[in-house]
Amino acid sequence: MKKLRQVFLLLILTSVSNTTFANDGDTLTVNPNPFHSFTVIHFEIAANDTICLDIYDITGRIVKTYFNANILPSGSYSINFKGDTLPNGVYFLRLKINSKIFVKKLVKTDALVDVTEHVFHKSTILLYPNPTTETLEIPIDGIKTIVVTDLNGRIVIHSLIQTKSISLSNLENGSYIVTVLSEANQLITTQHIIKASN
C-alpha cells in the first residue's frame, strides 16, 4: 500500500511540475536550478495564510520539510536549501498555500558551479532595462558568465562575455532569472527580469 501511495504521489507531482501561478500575488522561484549543492527557494504570499513546504525525491519520499501547516504573515520569504548530501537527480518542491498547491521540479547535478558560500540577497547591481525588449545592460567590468534560466529552471542562455550587454532577442516574452558569475565563477548578482515585446 505504501508503494502504491508513493507511485500515486509521484504521478501527481510529475503532472503538475510545470504549474504556473495565478495572478493573485503568490509566487515561487528556485535559483539556481539545476543546482550543485545549494539553491534558494523564494516565495511570496499575498495574505496571511497556512503554509506547507516540502521537498520530495522521485519516489515520493519527503527529504526535507520546512513548514508543516504553519501560519505565515503576508510577505516575501527566502530559504537556503542545502542539498549537498543528496544524490544527483530530480526532486520536487511542493508549496501549499491554504488550498492551492504549487510544485516545482528541482534538478541536483555535479555539473554546475558550487555557490554554497553565497547568500541570495537583493543585489545593489541592477541589470537594466527591466522589463527589456531586446538587450540587457550588465554594468560589470571584465569577463563574466551570464546564465539565464526560465522560471522552470531550464537554462536558456549560458554565455561567457566581456561586453556590458547581452542580447535577449531570441527569447520568448516572459520572466527569467539572470545570474552573473565572475571569471573565477563567484556569484556577482542574481536578478529577476522580464522580456517584453517592443
Q: Residue 11 in contact with residue 103, Cβ under 8 Å? A: no
Indicate the number of domains in the chain. Answer: 2
Chain-centroid distance of CA 90 in Å reads 14
Residue 120 is assigned to a structural domain of this protein: no
Residue 91 is assigned to a structural domain of this protein: yes
Residue 73 is assigned to a structural domain of this protein: yes
User: What global pTM score does this model have?
Assistant: 0.49
Residue 171: the pLDDT is 92
In sequence order, which residues have a C-beta less than 8 Å from that of residue 33 and are 6 or more positions away? 39, 104, 106, 107, 149, 153
Residue 113 is assigned to a structural domain of this protein: no
Q: In whole angstroms, what is the distance from residue 167 CA to residue 95 CA?
A: 34
Residue 124: the pLDDT is 59
Domain at 36, CATH number: 2.60.40.1930
**178 and 98, same domain (yes or no):** no
**80 and 146, same domain (yes or no):** no
Name the nearest CA neighbour of 156 among 164, 167, 165: 167
Q: What is the pLDDT of residues 52-110, one digit of tens each?
A: 999 998 778 899 999 999 988 888 888 888 888 888 888 889 999 888 888 888 888 87
